[in-house]
Amino acid sequence: MGYIMDLRKVVGSRPLLMVAANVILLDSENRLLLQLRTDNNCWALSGGSLEIDETLEEAAKREVYEETGLVVNELTLFHTFSGKEFYYEYPNGDQVYNVVSTYICRDYEGELNPDPVEVKDLRFFSLDELPSEISPPERPIIERFLKLYHTK
């Protein structure tokens, strides 16, 4: 079931600190992979919460594989995000304060194969043409990446 889901059985929807990892995955054309989430119908990076005995890098690689079918070979730490800006209430009422380590990946293999439970769609987007419906916890991460690494 997972660590966070087990905690939810005890604490309900009250705010939790959620340690997570996600990945800015770029293809050879410098396009960003985003997934359309089933829970909030917004576009987001691949990623998720850390499990017991797992490193952040392992969580990032696992989540990318589970959600996209892609195998990540190499990760580079981009930044760790936290604070009030990373509070989020899920559509089901669960509240979290995210602590997210974000990685950049250009070295991966495999074919896109979305997880039908979590992902409605997977798509590579040009950095100049990102969708407007970005999931709230992802927006400041993507904005910082664009500010530092993308020149128009």
Provide the residue ranges of all domains of the chain, joining segments of one domain with +: 3-149
Query: How far does CA 11 lie from the centroid of its chain?
Result: 24
Q: What are the phi and psi torsion angles at 48 (to 5°)?
A: 180, -175
Take residue 106 and report the two structure tokens written for it.
């250009």
- pLDDT for the residue 152: 57
CATH T-level assignment (fold) for domain 3-149:
Nucleoside Triphosphate Pyrophosphohydrolase (3.90.79)
DSSP 84: G
How many CA atoms are closer than 13 Å to the CA of 53, on its beta-carbon side?
1
What's the whole-model pTM score?
0.93
Residue type, 91: P
- β 71-81/32-37 pair status: unpaired
- From CA 41, how far away is CA 32, in angstroms rounded? 18
| pLDDT < 70 stretches in the chain | 1, 151-152
Closest CA to 136 of 43, 46, 59: 43
- pLDDT for the residue 151: 67
- pLDDT for the residue 2: 86
The SS3 assignment for 78 reads: strand
Residue type, 1: M
Q: What percent of the chain has pLDDT above 70?
A: 98
- pLDDT for the residue 116: 94
